Amino acid sequence: MQALYCHLGLLDYRAAHELQTALVHRRRHGELERDLFLVTEHPGVFTLGRRGGLEHLLVSEDFLTGEGIAVIPIERGGDITYHGPGQLILYPIIDLRRAGLSATGYVSRLEEVMLRLAGDWGVTAQRDPRNRGIWTGGKKLGSVGIAIRHGIAFHGLALNVNPSLTPFSWINPCGLTGVEMTSIAAESECEVTLAQAESKLVKHLTEVFDREFREIAPEEIFRFSSSPLCPISPLGPWQSLQ
């Protein structure tokens, strides 16, 4: 079974969300004939999942305004998390019914992809019953949060390759108190770049999802959205994308 793969580069979170919702609609109605895996990176932003609450945000609105970081409620599962440069983001637009996947089985495959990527740099990670995602030495390394509309899954995974970990100290990550976040770079003590991690991603996706991937250019999919390519704009605080 063939799937599509597209590297979007650094992309404003709002633009990525708009693109995903447009692609979900087209996948559902057959205008997008194959599952599509989007790879991107975001400027700094906090997102609140369906179980999220501002009680897990540990800094003030004025502080975040000064940092140029928004808090955006969205429809994925989970609580509050941070996205920023140096974090590998994967948003599969996937028809779970056609793929023969349950929601939990799909999440497990996303975790497996992250486990294998971490292992490429000698980082031994594992799942943890406290929270979906991957962990190493009691620290969280990667997160998973999905949403499903009419059987089509979107959102996906966020793996910390070499981001600044400071913004994670401004929240209770995933709504968990006393949890420390980490990265592949911090755990491996190697210089690892996002480009290096992305170069290994397709191999793991091919094996874990049993797909043959064909890469397409961003221009081929942005025709589904009104957003321009790679918009990076200041985000106002407390915006909603539900």
pLDDT in tens, 129-153: 778 999 999 999 999 999 999 999 9
User: Catalytic: 6?
Assistant: no
Interstrand relation of 139-149 and 212-215 (parallel, antiparallel or unpaired)? unpaired
What are the pLDDT digits (tens) for 104-127? 999 999 999 999 999 999 999 999
Mean pLDDT of the chain: 88
Q: What pLDDT shows up at residue 77?
A: 67
163 token code pair: 């981001």
Model-level pTM?
0.89
Q: Give, in order, the Cα–Cα distances in Å from 143 to each of 61, 71, 176, 226.
A: 24, 17, 13, 28
Q: How many CA atoms lie within 13 A of 86 on its CB side?
A: 18
Q: Answer yes or no: is pLDDT of 235 > 50.
A: no
C-alpha closest to that of 181 among 130, 135, 122: 135
**Burial zone of 220 (CB within 10 Å; 0-12 exposed, 13-18 middle, 19+ buried):** exposed
| 47 neighbors 64 (Cβ within 8 angstroms) | no
Per residue in 167-183, pLDDT (tens digit) is 999 988 777 778 899 99
What is the residue extent of each domain of the chain? 2-224
Write down the pLDDT at residue 242: 33
The label of the residue with tokens 């509309």 reads 149
- ∠ CA(83), CA(88), CA(94), 5° rounding? 100
* Residue the block writes with tokens 């025709």: 223
For the stretch 41-82, pLDDT in tens is 999 999 887 766 677 888 998 998 899 999 888 887 678 889
From 3.30.70.1560, 1.10.3720.10, 3.30.930.10, 2.60.120.10, which CATH number describes the 2-224 domain?
A: 3.30.930.10
Tallying the residues shown for the chain, one arrives at: 242
Strand partners for 153:
94, 148
Check residue 146 and give its pLDDT: 93
Higher pLDDT residue, 6 or 74? Answer: 6
Residue 15 to residues 12, 75, 110, 202, Cα–Cα distance (Å): 5, 15, 23, 23
**Among residues 6, 174, 190, 230, which one is catalytic?**
174
| Token pair listed for 89 | 């983001």
In what order do the strands lie in the sheet containing 36-41?
126-128, 131-136, 139-149, 152-160, 87-95, 36-41, 2-10, 212-215
